[in-house]
Amino acid sequence: MSALLSRRSFLTQTAALAAAGIPFTVPAAASWSAEAFARTRSVTDAVLAHPFLQELASGTIAREKVLWYLAQNVIYLKGYGESLTRVEKRLTDAADRRLLTQWIKETAQTEVWMLELIEKLRDGRDITALTRVKPSTLFYVSWEAKATLDSSVGAAWAALLPCFTLYETVGKMIAANVAPGNPYQAWLSAYGDPAYSETVKKAVGLADRLAARETAENRARMTENYLTSCRLEWIFWDAAWRLKGWPF
């Protein structure tokens, strides 16, 4: 998204795209990312339609669900940072490694910010039970760890990419629809930032560069890994909506 666009025009265009069901980012047709994004369009649509995100934007969501999500996201981010570190060590290009180094740092900063946000939102509540790892969180973190250990570097990165791309898509939807006076404004104000879109472009660009060096088999695995992680993003939001923990 061009930095020359005003905040108002940015949100207006985003809302129009969302209403029309048009993807926010459309890579070149020949790129791996274009194939992957087309493959996961139905998952993206399901994420955007999820009641957790719809009620988050309207400000009507239950506080416990928000705290559940934030607490589990802290756990997720710790694991995600470790997975980023594994990929960074496998990259051979110095510029690409610098990108990962920066994203590892930003992930750690986001983890700290989430903890601060939880303290502001919990309002004296005992959230000990919410901070224990839940099945969906363990599933997602373990899947990404496995992908970064036993996949090609391209397929490993593809498994981590939805944390960039879907978060951007969700952020744009929320920024375009957040209700005035939303009680979660402190959190949601970070969504829809055009600067983040530039970061996502770099992350997608890295995936396309890695895909160009992969075999046809590994390129196909990249798409499967990306699809799996997109599905796990939906599962993560859904678990927060349902407050889904261990059965006993």
Residue 210, pLDDT > 50, answer: yes
Residue 191, pLDDT > 60, answer: yes
pLDDT (mean) for 60-87: 98
The pLDDT of residue 29 is 46
> Would you place residue 247 in the very low, low, confident or very high pLDDT band (cuts 50, 70, 90)?
very high
The pLDDT of residue 186 is 81
- Which range marks the domain in which residue 54 is found? 49-242
Percent of the chain with pLDDT over 70: 88
Residue 26, pLDDT > 60, answer: no
On the 0-12 / 13-18 / 19+ scale of CB atoms within 10 A, 128 is exposed
- 60 within a domain of the structure (yes/no): yes
- 8 within a domain of the structure (yes/no): no
As a dihedral over the C-alpha atoms of residue 86, residue 91, residue 94, residue 98, rounded to 10 degrees, the angle is: -40
- 199 within a domain of the structure (yes/no): yes
Q: How many domains does the chain have?
A: 1
- 83 within a domain of the structure (yes/no): yes
Classify the phi-psi angles of 129: left when phi > 0, otherwise alpha if psi is within -120 to 50, otherwise beta.
alpha
Q: How far apart are the first and last CA of the chain?
A: 47
Q: How many CB atoms lie within 10 A of CB 97?
A: 15
- 5 within a domain of the structure (yes/no): no
pLDDT (mean) for 143-151: 97
Whether residue 63 contacts residue 121, with contact meaning beta carbons closer than 8 Å, is answered with: yes
The pLDDT of residue 248 is 94
Task: Assign residue 238 the CATH number of its domain.
Answer: 1.20.910.10
- 115 within a domain of the structure (yes/no): yes
pLDDT digits (tens, 9 = 90+) for 122-132: 999 999 999 99
- 158 within a domain of the structure (yes/no): yes
- 24 within a domain of the structure (yes/no): no
Residue 51, pLDDT > 60, answer: yes
Residue 55, pLDDT > 80, answer: yes
Three-state secondary structure of the chain: CCCCCCHHHHHHHHHHHHHHCCCCCCCCCCCHHHHHHHHCHHHHHHHHCCHHHHHHHHCCCCHHHHHHHHHHHHHHHHHHHHHHHHHHHHCCCHHHHHHHHHHHHHHHHHHHHHHHHHHHHHCCCCCCHHHCCCHHHHHHHHHHHHHHHHCCHHHHHHHHCHHHHHHHHHHHHHHHHCCCCCCCHHHHCCCCCHHHHHHHHHHHHHHHHHHHCCCHHHHHHHHHHHHHHHHHHHHHHHHHHHCCCCCC
> Would you place residue 17 in the very low, low, confident or very high pLDDT band (cuts 50, 70, 90)?
very low
> Would you place residue 192 in the very low, low, confident or very high pLDDT band (cuts 50, 70, 90)?
confident
pLDDT (mean) for 172-185: 92
> Would you place residue 23 in the very low, low, confident or very high pLDDT band (cuts 50, 70, 90)?
very low
On the 0-12 / 13-18 / 19+ scale of CB atoms within 10 A, 201 is middle
Percent of the chain with pLDDT over 90: 83
